[in-house]
Amino acid sequence: MKVSIALLMLCCLSLTDGQTEVQEENCKLNIWNEVRDVRDMVVELRVKLDMVMNDNSRLNERMKVSETQLEELKRENAEQTKVAFSADLGIRGHLGPQTNAITLAFNNVLTNIGNNYNPETGLFTAPVKGVYYFRFTICGIQINKSTGANLYKNGKNIVSVGQWLHHDQHRYASNGAVLQLEVGDVVCMKLLPGYTIYDSKDNLSTFSGFLIYPI
């Protein structure tokens, strides 16, 4: 645009000596047309620029909101109680069968984040209200005996597992449950009368649990 105006002006300048007035008028008209076009374009560009700037400030607003949300999520995540444990029974050989049910103290702790599992007593105590997952694997090798164990919540049997051993090879039984717990609820594993459990340095009989999410 600038170039064409410059060219037109040059043309008009060169016309001044010895050209007719009509030609001069035509040339001026062309310049004005060009100037008007330039003005229109400037107006159009200004409108577009306004739009772009509006969009930009809206995006900035949204980015600020997202950043705030991200910070909140980070803080929530950092504040959230972390709960996870895994423990192996820690004995070398058999336990049971006995005449009374006993709470199994899995004392070879592999992980105990939050220290909510007590390896001395075998009791897990929920630190927050939430949804938790527990699972266990029980090994047995005593011939003509039952192996198995039961998961208890506040003294109430929740899930069980057991099998009869026809021969003296390692046999495994496992079960698990998602439980909704209140603060202070107690979860543990029990060996019922008549059942046996076996463990070795290979950590064959284990009990694990973790908080899926607090509620």
The footprint of ligand NAG on residues 82-111 (CB under 6 A) is 88, 108, 110
Nearer to ligand NAG, 119 or 127 (CB): 119
Per CB under 6 A, the list member of 144, 156, 169, 213 interacting with ligand NAG is 144
* Residue 203 binds ligand NAG (CB under 6 A): yes
**String of b and e for 111-139 (b: at least 16 CB within 10 Å)?**
ebeeebbbbeebbbbbbbebebebbbbbb
Closest approach, Cβ 144 to ligand NAG, in A, equals 4
Size of site (CB under 6 A) for ligand NAG: 8
List Cα–Cα distances, 139 to 86, 107, 161, in angstroms: 16, 16, 11
Minimum CB separation of residue 187 from ligand NAG in Å reads 21
- Residue 79 within binding range of ligand NAG, rule CB under 6 A: no
Residue among 21, 76, 120, 202 that touches ligand NAG (CB under 6 A): 202
If one counts every other C-beta atom within 10 angstroms of the C-beta of residue 56, the result is 10
Give me the least distance between CB of 168 and ligand NAG, in Å please.
8
143 binds ligand NAG (CB under 6 A): yes
Question: What pairing do the DSSP bridges indicate for beta strands 84-88 and 186-191?
Answer: unpaired
Contacts (Cβ under 8 Å, ≥6 apart) of 196: 94, 95, 96, 97, 140, 142, 145, 146, 147
Task: State the residues that interact with ligand NAG by CB under 6 A.
Answer: 88, 108, 110, 143-144, 201-203
